[in-house]
Structure formats: C-alpha cells, structure tokens
Amino acid sequence: MTTILMVDDNPADIDEMNAILTNAGYSTLIQPDGVHILEFLHSHLPDIIMLDLVMPKMNGIEILRELKREFPEIPVIMCSAAGLEQVVTLAMRIGAAGYVVKPYQKEELLESIKKITT
C-alpha cells in the first residue's frame, strides 16, 4: 500500500485531502508544518509527500529544498491555493514531482499521485 505524507498547517485542507486519499485506498501520515519534517522522516518514510506551499515558519519551497537534499528519492507534490506560475516553475526546478491547486479536486489529486506511482 502506498503511504502518503501530508504536510499542511490547515486542518480543513488536511481533512479534505485525507478523505480523498484514504477513500482511494492510500495510507496517510500527517505533519502540521515543515519545521520537524526531516526528523519525522527519519522514523516514518512515506512513498510520496504532499507539501503545502504557504505555511508559517518555513514555506513549502524552503522545505522542498531540504527534502531534496536529505531525501531525494521521495517524490514531492506541491499543493497551494496560489497557483502562481513562477512558484510552480521554481518548485519543479528544485525537484517537485507535481503540483496540485486547492481546493482539491478528487480527480486531479489522484491523477497527480497516479503519475508518480505508475
């Protein structure tokens, strides 16, 4: 079973994504911010990370850079309500495997994961 780590500071977004993913048969893990994500990953290694772009303390781009240095083998899909082209381009250049715009559309979210797992 594919395990997906959701990193997002918004409980409503986590609940929405978690419902979609668990109903589709995925196992999920949750981190409310990116500050402790590297420490968390040393004991919980997911197959995919869904990473929010806008969070307090560390933004998604900063976290993505750290993830690609420490865990380059884990695909990261960026998530944000701000679908700014330049941010998407930067995230992809750093190493994001995809990008999903909030609010989550079930088909789009699952398709972004399917592209990575098949």
What is the number of domains present in the chain? Answer: 1
Residue 71 belongs to domain spanning = 3-117
Q: Are strands 76-80 and 98-101 parallel, antiparallel or unpaired?
A: parallel
Cα four-point dihedral sign 35, 38, 43, 46: positive
Average pLDDT over residues 29-57: 91
pLDDT tens-digit series, residues 80-94? 876 666 787 899 999
- Asked whether the predicted pLDDT for residue 36 surpasses 80, the reply is yes
Q: What is the CATH number of the domain that holds 67?
A: 3.40.50.2300
**Which amino acid is present at 32?**
P
- Asked whether the predicted pLDDT for residue 15 surpasses 90, the reply is yes
Of 46-50, 56-60, 96-100, where does mean pLDDT reach its minimum? 56-60
In this prediction, residue 82 carries a pLDDT of 63
pTM of the predicted model as reported, rounded to 2 decimal places: 0.94
Instruction: Assign residue 95 a region (left: φ > 0; alpha: ψ between -120 and 50; beta: otherwise).
Output: left
- pLDDT grade for 96, boundaries at 50, 70 and 90: very high
Locate 36 and state its tokens: 């402790």
More confident residue, 21 or 54: 21
DSSP the chain: --EEEEE-S-HHHHHHHHHHHHHTT-EEEEES-STTHHHHHTT---SEEEEES--SSS-HHHHHHHHHHH-TTS-EEEEES---HHHHHHHHHHT-SEEEESSPPHHHHHHHHHHHH-
Averaged confidence pLDDT in the chain: 92
